[in-house]
Amino acid sequence: MRSNELENFKSILLDRKQAILDNNLIHKQTMEYTKNSNINEADLAAAHTRNMLDSSISKRHYLELEHIERALEKIDEGIYGICEMCDEAIGIGRLKAKPHAKYCIVCRQIVEKDSKDQK
């Protein structure tokens, strides 16, 4: 991969990381507000449902954050864009769609099939 492409992916990953961190900060502030305010039971139930939705979103974000951190490490190690399963190049097109991709398209399908079979 060319170094300007690598820099480009690095800035995309850093932006994405920042966006997730900002998002989680807002999430925490909302939780504090809900806890501290005097609201009736119906509101509380609604807030609870909302919080459950929020926490599942932030769990997904947390996973994405881990993948982004790993991708940034790989940029520093000079192995970014290499599939973790077959050691082939992942491909610029796929990385543009998903900059923190760990696997090439072929391996991704194998991993997805395996995780479905286990359920």
Using CB under 5 A, list all residues that contact Zn ion. 83, 85-86, 104, 107
Least distance between Zn ion and beta carbon 112 (Å): 13
Buried b (16+ CB within 10 A) or exposed e, 91-101: eeebbeeebbb
Query: Is residue 80 within 8 Å of residue 73, measured between CB atoms?
Result: no
Q: For Zn ion, give the closer residue by CB, 39 or 86.
A: 86
Least distance between Zn ion and beta carbon 19 (Å): 28
Query: Is residue 47 within 8 Å of residue 13, measured between CB atoms?
Result: no
Q: For Zn ion, give the closer residue by CB, 66 or 88.
A: 88
Least distance between Zn ion and beta carbon 102 (Å): 9
For residue 71, which of 37, 94, 44 has the smallest C-alpha distance?
94
